[in-house]
Structure 1
């Protein structure tokens, strides 16, 4: 089949590579326009665009998905299938272009965690399992008919980054199989149960502040669910204190946010129980272990 692949972040790269290695033809890769990724940096391509150029694939950059010229360019490609991985919401008129429809790889077991940050929210909610879903796109976000799913367990100390790296590889294998199945007509679809849907909206800095006046398990799930980005944080002596890795600690009677050393572990008190802060970073300093941080620390010892 002739495929138009749409994606921008590195999550989509394994899917692009596997389709490139398949018997199908990638007629074009669509990605976001180049942008500055630092104040003084020159505009740079998205990870997907950069990889597509390395593979010598034709690339279309797009800013406005409703641009009539973009619509015409897409239609001229005469694609059989659009394959979308970590991209934007396609206008309904674009979904009508490919002969066999448009499919999307989503990093959750739909209908759970619809939205921009499905892995983050699954980990933050303490889910023991998540997965990936390939489904046909329709006019609403993440609501289309499901073609295939594949689950994976979430370890109690795994971060969003850990699960992300696993799902982008798992998802690429599932996606490539679905593309083959669509070509052969060897697939079935089923509707999502919308009553079971849960949201996974984009996370902002203000959403990442940790409230230690909560049970330890909730604090731990939030820290690992926000790692490595956009990153859990609190205030320590007026400075931003980032937390990247944690674990459930012993049941000690510490006031919420109080920091103490317990042998080689840095503990933070919670409303019920404690968490071990394994990897931290104080504003202006490098990232380090909790133990190394406390070795050079002489402040108040309370996170707020």
Structure 2
């Protein structure tokens, strides 16, 4: 099939590579236009834009999706299908361009976790499994008819980074299977049950702050969900301490939630509502990301000190 690919972040790259190596023809790759970055204000592509140029694909920078010249350029390609991965909400004028329609891949088992942050919310809620869904895009976000789905196990040590990597690899295979089925006319569309829908809104700054008065499991899941970005945080010695990896300790604490409950040469734990949470990997404001053992070398804290 003749395809136009649309995407921005790194998670879309394995899918673009899989399509590039398949028997489908990529007519163009749409991604946000390069933006000036850094002190030198040099133009920087999105992850997808950078890959498209490396693969010598027809890169189409997108500023406004409502721009008529942009829409005319897409129409001139005469695509059979748009494949969309973590891009933007497409206006009706663009959705009407491809002859077959537009396929999106979503990192949850729809209708669960509709929205911008399905991976993070699955981890926040302590899910043991999640999945990926290919579906036909409609005007309302993440509501279109389902094409194919695949379940993915969430391991105890998974964080947002590792689970995203799993999604990217499995998503590439699922997209190819979806396109092959569409080409052969072998896919049966399945409507979503809106009564079963749950929301996965964008992660806000407020959601990143740790509340030590809740259980160690809830805090541990928050750390997993927000690692490696943007990072769950607390305050320590007047500085922001981002926490990227933790371990639930099966030990009670005699300290109040939010106090240092264990302090050794290479270890530190914080008291929670139901026990203790050992802190393993951190980024203290003004320093680099490091193991807690290394961070403790330059810290002057005492057991019982308040955190938060």
Task: Provide the TM-score with structure 2 as the length reference.
Answer: 0.95
Partner Cα separation in structure 2 for residue 264 and residue 129 of structure 1 = 34
Secondary structure of 2:43 counterpart: coil
Q: How does 1:190-205 map to 2 (within 5 A)?
A: 190-205=190-205
Please say if 1:4 is aligned against 2:4.
yes
Q: Is the contact between residue 266 and residue 296 of structure 2 (CA under 8 Å) also seen in structure 1?
A: no
Q: How does 1:37-186 map to 2 (within 5 A)?
A: 37-186=37-186
Q: How does 1:208-287 map to 2 (within 5 A)?
A: 208-253=208-253, 254-259=255-260, 260-261=262-263, 265-287=267-289
C-alpha RMSD of the superposition: 1.4
**Following TM superposition, by how much is the alpha carbon of 1:261 offset from its aligned partner in structure 2, in angstroms?**
2.5
Partner Cα separation in structure 2 for residue 142 and residue 114 of structure 1 = 6
**What is aligned with 1:298?**
300
Cα deviations by residue, 1:118-147 (Å, 9 ceiling, x for unpaired): 111111111111111100000000000000
Partner Cα separation in structure 2 for residue 292 and residue 92 of structure 1 = 53
Partner Cα separation in structure 1 for residue 200 and residue 36 of structure 2 = 27
**Following TM superposition, by how much is the alpha carbon of 1:77 offset from its aligned partner in structure 2, in angstroms?**
0.7
Partner Cα separation in structure 2 for residue 39 and residue 235 of structure 1 = 29
Task: Provide the TM-score with structure 1 as the length reference.
Answer: 0.96
Q: Is the contact between residue 157 and residue 246 of structure 1 (CA under 8 Å) also seen in structure 2?
A: no
Q: 1:252 to 1:291 in 2, by over 3 A?
A: farther
Cα deviations by residue, 1:15-72 (Å, 9 ceiling, x for unpaired): 1011011111100000001113435441201111111111111011111111111111
Unaligned runs of 5+ in 2: none
Secondary structure of 1:171 counterpart: helix
**What is aligned with 2:24?**
24
157-166 vs 293-302, greater mean Cα deviation: 293-302
Q: Is the contact between residue 257 and residue 303 of structure 1 (CA under 8 Å) also seen in structure 2?
A: yes
Unaligned runs of 5+ in 1: none
Number of matched pairs: 304
Partner Cα separation in structure 1 for residue 133 and residue 148 of structure 2 = 6
Q: Is the contact between residue 204 and residue 230 of structure 1 (CA under 8 Å) also seen in structure 2?
A: no
Q: Is the contact between residue 2 and residue 80 of structure 2 (CA under 8 Å) also seen in structure 1?
A: yes
134-143 vs 184-193, greater mean Cα deviation: 184-193
Q: Is the contact between residue 2 and residue 79 of structure 1 (CA under 8 Å) also seen in structure 2?
A: yes
